[in-house]
């Protein structure tokens, strides 16, 4: 039997098998061979747990003085260390790719989110095979590996039944995966996968289902199983929450815990948070608050309605954060129950970027409207404020609260130039090794430092070859040197930042930065050459409050040159601030699963089809045809549906009559019904939409046909311009997750009761030139998740 040599260097993975030495004989009773030794990591290698919270600013968690109660994070900090200069990339997919690979996000192909990938090597969303993940490295060294929650690193054209699956979580080195593959999901009704297979949640919101609870239930069951079966085998557990990304969905009792807590407004909360951060030793005593960003007004200048709505949206977010942390607390309890708490390297990262400004200046009841660049009036939010946080809402707070949650720094998520977009709170515990429990570590650290930290803690070398492919060097710096010395000199000395043209460079305490755009501001962007750079001495100006560019132009110039060097080294160029164009795969230069096809035929059983893997029916005339067999029995149910409660469309049968429903952001519903019942036998039914043309989102006329006979007609005044949903799918023969219309029930109960042969979508040969935007006002659409 092949056997792992005792002194294997582990630089080449998988570790080559070496035949076991022994005594061979004709008769097995006379042969002598040692028993096969299963692969294990080096002695003393710890379990590794990474917990990642989505969309949380540096000043939000109570563990660092913030207003969101997070006792589990406090427990980790008290048992270990808090890092107060930890940084991310300012956006979701890039941070997650960097976290799991130890390479800068452009080096790992993830310059922005997967949905707007381009053909450029640093922005194509394809993790090169020269960049193995830490999950794969640990798996090939004898760890058990599993991921639960959000994974937003799979190229969009690969998220279908056709795969390929080598960049799905299970292809990234995780032996088990349960969660969703995308930027966001409905916490009450998520779109889920087990491995690479779609699965349904065990229940609905009415049943008490919530995704954060479900994923942690499964994570706890998994580690208990491992402990029972292989207690000698360390595990790597990645628990990556969709929370606290919008929609902010949380049980009502958690929201009520914060009733009135934010009535004082974002200015007062920032003051209180900074004072608490100073008291905790998270920031120096001389740290200054930065100014409110453009468009955000003083709380005292808001009217009573604005204050009431904004405060309730923030109460909901804070409850969401506490609820999420409570699930982490259950996981920590489970680890301690099995005796693994002391021997676990536990990394708790509160945010994959700064707090999100994607709710706009007023916040939103339906975040999908913001995703489509459609403003929602404050009255729309106020009229449904009691539903916020629940299954009837898809809410997000306003920019002012994002800025407050990033206290004391400037700007927000997406703005990679400033710390508001890139600095996040992080706590790390390893009780068996870390003696300075409760200590604060001020060394400059970055998300790419996590992988080398894990490898050093496990006694594993950086591999030179993985699966036969020579590897790019890991670009992060291990943080183990900080464990025993709070005064250790920084080792991560230089770090570039870039996102959508917002860019910066850190070097030995200094930062040079330029803010190219803001996610909530609509206007033409300047040329990159016209961007104004700022200079900060962060050793003496913790929050980047005092710009020294005018006083020290030579220093600024040297740092700008260093940015060019680092950006060239790590595949940052070309800079890309395009907005609407990048939603078009052919313009952006990425593969498009439907390609040039204008027709696709679907069959019963095909569901969970992501929006960007099927034909795009938005902003053009199209036809939907279905072949069904009508018998004397019941024939109600859905033939085809796309989207869900917050935007979408559905072709279905009710009371033996053909119907089409169009849901414009849960605000306007149009239902077209046939004037006669369906005849018996095999029938072809058809819906045709004649698009008016003009700007994206224009209306048109919908017509229903039975065997080519017009049986119904109606006008749809407005349509969804860009995105029906980030998680709801196209389904055949039923409408999964949340229904497009209340005209039929939720879940499997809306399945078509007759016999469905097939459904075909045909796109008309419209002139689509009118869809090009006049300016760059759609930047915030492009830059989601």
Whether the per-residue pLDDT at 334 is higher than 50: the answer is yes
State mean pLDDT over 386-392.
97
Average pLDDT over residues 121-146: 97
For 687-725, write each residue's pLDDT tens digit: 999 999 999 999 999 999 999 999 999 999 999 999 999
Structure tokens at 172: 């990234």
| Residue 780 confidence class, pLDDT cut points 50, 70, 90 | very low
Residues β-bridged to residue 664: 668
* Pairwise CA distance, residues 320 & 546, whole Å: 34
What pLDDT was estimated at residue 521?
Answer: 85
pLDDT of 36-75, one tens digit each?
889 999 999 999 999 999 999 999 999 999 999 999 999 9
Instruction: Quote the pLDDT of residue 544.
Output: 98
Q: How many CB atoms lie within 10 A of CB 392?
A: 17
Span 303-319, mean pLDDT?
A: 97
- What is the per-residue pLDDT for 764? 95
Query: Strand 344-350 and strand 423-429: pairing?
Result: antiparallel
CA dist 310 and 326 (Å) reads: 25
Does pLDDT of 768 surpass 70?
Answer: no
The C-alpha atoms of residue 488 and residue 500 are separated, in whole angstroms, by 34
C-alpha dihedral sign at 350, 355, 356, 360: positive
Question: At 769, is the pLDDT very low, low, confident or very high (cuts 50, 70, 90)?
Answer: very low
Of the CA atoms within 13 Å of residue 311, those in its CB half-sphere come to: 21
- Token code pair at residue 735: 């409408």
pLDDT at 770 over 80: no
CATH of 502-583, one of 3.50.50.60, 3.40.190.290, 1.25.40.10, 3.30.1120.10: 3.30.1120.10
520 touches 295 (CB < 8 A): yes
Q: How many helices (H) and strands (E) does the chain have?
A: 15, 31
Is 652 a residue whose pLDDT tops 50?
A: yes
The torsion region of residue 358 among left (phi > 0), alpha (psi -120 to 50) and beta comes to alpha
The CA-based angle 364-365-367, given to 5 degrees, is: 65
Q: What is the pLDDT of residue 8?
A: 58
Q: Which residue is listed with tokens 């043209």?
A: 501
Q: Are the CB atoms for 413 and 246 separated by under 8 Å?
A: no
CATH superfamily, with its number, for domain 47-484: Alkaline Phosphatase, subunit A (3.40.720.10)
Per-residue pLDDT for 580 more than 80? no
Residue 766 is predicted with a pLDDT of 61
Task: Tell me the C-alpha distance between 258 and 706, whole Å.
Answer: 55
pLDDT of residue 579: 76
Sorting pLDDT into bands at 50, 70 and 90, what band is 1?
A: very low
Name every residue whose Cβ is closer than 8 Å to that of residue 619 and which is 6 or more positions away in sequence.
Answer: 691, 696, 697, 698, 719, 721, 768, 771
Q: Token pair 């939720």 is at which residue? A: 746
Task: Identify the pLDDT of residue 773.
Answer: 38
CATH for 599-764 is 2.60.120.200
How many CB atoms within 10 Å of residue 224? 14
Q: What is the DSSP string of 98-131?
A: HHHHSS-TTTTT-SS-GGG--SSTTTS----TTS
Tally Cβ neighbours within 10 Å of residue 621: 18
Summarize the confidence of residues 429-452 as an average pLDDT.
98
Establish whether domains 502-583 and 599-764 are of one fold. Answer: no
Tell me the domain boundaries of the chain. 1-37, 47-484, 502-583, 599-764
Tokens for 281? 């030793």
Q: Are 723 and 611 in contact (CB under 8 A)?
A: yes
Average pLDDT over every residue of 640-651: 98
Region 579-593: mean pLDDT is 83
- Burial class of 594 by CB neighbour count within 10 A (0 to 12, 13 to 18, 19+): middle
């Amino acid at each position: 039997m092949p056997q792992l040599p005792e002194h294997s260097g582990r630089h080449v993975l998988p570790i080559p098998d070496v035949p076991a030495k022994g005594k061979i004989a004709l008769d097995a009773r006379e042969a002598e061979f040692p028993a096969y030794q299963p692969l294990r990591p080096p002695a003393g290698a710890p379990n590794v747990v990474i917990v990642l919270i989505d969309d949380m600013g540096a000043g939000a968690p109570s563990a660092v003085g913030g207003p969101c109660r997070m006792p589990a994070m406090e427990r980790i900090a008290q048992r270990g260390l808090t890092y107060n200069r930890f940084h991310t990339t300012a956006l979701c997919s890039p941070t997650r790719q960097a976290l799991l690979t130890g390479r800068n996000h452009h080096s790992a192909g993830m310059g922005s989110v997967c949905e707007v990938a381009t053909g450029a090597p640093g922005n194509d969303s394809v993790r090169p095979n020269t960049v193995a993940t830490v999950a794969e490295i640990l798996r090939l060294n004898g760890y058990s590996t599993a991921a639960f929650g959000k994974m937003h690193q799979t190229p969009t054209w690969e998220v279908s039944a056709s795969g390929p699956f080598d960049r799905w979580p299970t292809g990234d080195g995780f032996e088990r995966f349960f969660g969703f593959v995308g930027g966001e999901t409905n916490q009450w009704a998520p779109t889920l996968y087990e491995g690479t297979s779609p699965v349904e949640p065990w229940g609905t919101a009415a049943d008490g289902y919530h995704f954060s609870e479900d994923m942690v239930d499964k994570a706890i069951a998994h580690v208990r199983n491992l402990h029972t079966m292989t207690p000698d085998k360390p595990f790597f557990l990645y628990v990556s929450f969709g929370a606290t990304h919008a929609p902010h969905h949380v049980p009502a009792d958690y929201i009520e815990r914060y009733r009135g807590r934010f009535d004082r407004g974002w200015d007062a909360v920032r003051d209180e948070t900074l004072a608490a951060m100073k008291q905790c030793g998270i920031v120096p005593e001389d740290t200054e608050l930065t100014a409110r960003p453009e468009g955000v007004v003083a709380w005292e200048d808001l009217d009573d309605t604005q204050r009431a709505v904004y405060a309730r949206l923030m109460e909901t977010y804070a409850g969401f954060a506490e609820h999420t942390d409570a699930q982490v607390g259950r996981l920590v309890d489970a680890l301690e129950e099995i005796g693994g708490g002391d021997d676990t390297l536990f990394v708790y990262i509160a945010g994959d970027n700064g707090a999100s400004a994607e709710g706009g200046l007023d916040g939103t009841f339906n975040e999908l409207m913001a995703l489509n660049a459609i403003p929602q009036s404050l009255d729309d939010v106020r009229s449904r404020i009691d539903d916020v946080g629940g299954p009837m809402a898809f809410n997000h707070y306003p920019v002012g609260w994002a800025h407050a949650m990033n206290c004391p720094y400037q700007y927000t998520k997406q703005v990679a130039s400033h710390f508001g977009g890139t600095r996040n709170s992080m706590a790390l515990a390893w009780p068996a090794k870390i003696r300075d429990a409760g200590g604060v570590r001020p060394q400059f650290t970055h998300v790419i430092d996590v992988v080398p930290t894990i490898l050093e803690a496990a006694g594993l070398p950086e591999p030179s070859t993985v699966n036969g492919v020579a590897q790019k060097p890991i670009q992060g710096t291990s943080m183990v040197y900080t464990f025993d010395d709070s005064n250790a000199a920084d080792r991560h000395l230089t770090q570039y930042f870039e996102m959508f043209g917002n860019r910066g460079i850190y070097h030995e305490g200094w930062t040079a930065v330029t803010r190219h755009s803001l996610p909530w501001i609509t206007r033409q962007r300047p040329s990159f050459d016209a961007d104004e750079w700022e200079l900060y001495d962060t050793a003496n100006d913790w929050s980047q409050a005092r710009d020294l560019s005018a006083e020290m132009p030579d220093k600024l110039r040297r740092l700008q040159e260093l940015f060019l060097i680092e950006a060239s080294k790590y595949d940052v160029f070309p800079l890309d601030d395009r907005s609407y164009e990048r939603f078009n795969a052919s313009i952006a230069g990425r593969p498009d699963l439907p390609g040039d096809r204008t027709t696709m035929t679907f069959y019963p059983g095909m569901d969970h089809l992501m929006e960007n893997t099927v034909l795009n029916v938005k902003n053009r005339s199209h036809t939907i045809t279905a072949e069904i067999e009508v018998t004397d029995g019941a024939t109600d149910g859905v033939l085809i549906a796309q989207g869900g409660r917050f935007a979408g469309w559905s072709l279905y049968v009710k009371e033996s009559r053909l119907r089409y429903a169009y849901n414009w952001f849960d605000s306007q519903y149009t239902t077209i019904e046939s004037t006669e019942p369906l005849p018996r036998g095999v029938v072809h039914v058809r819906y045709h939409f004649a698009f008016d043309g003009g700007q994206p989102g224009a209306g048109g006329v919908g017509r229903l046909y039975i065997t080519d006979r017009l049986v119904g007609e109606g006008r749809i005044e407005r349509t969804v311009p860009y995105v029906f949903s980030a998680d709801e799918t196209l389904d055949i023969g039923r409408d999964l997750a949340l229904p497009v219309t209340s005209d039929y029930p939720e879940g499997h109960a809306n399945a078509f009761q007759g016999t469905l042969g097939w459904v075909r979508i045909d796109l008309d040969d419209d002139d689509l030139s009118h869809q090009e935007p006049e300016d760059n006002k759609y930047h915030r659409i492009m830059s989601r998740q």
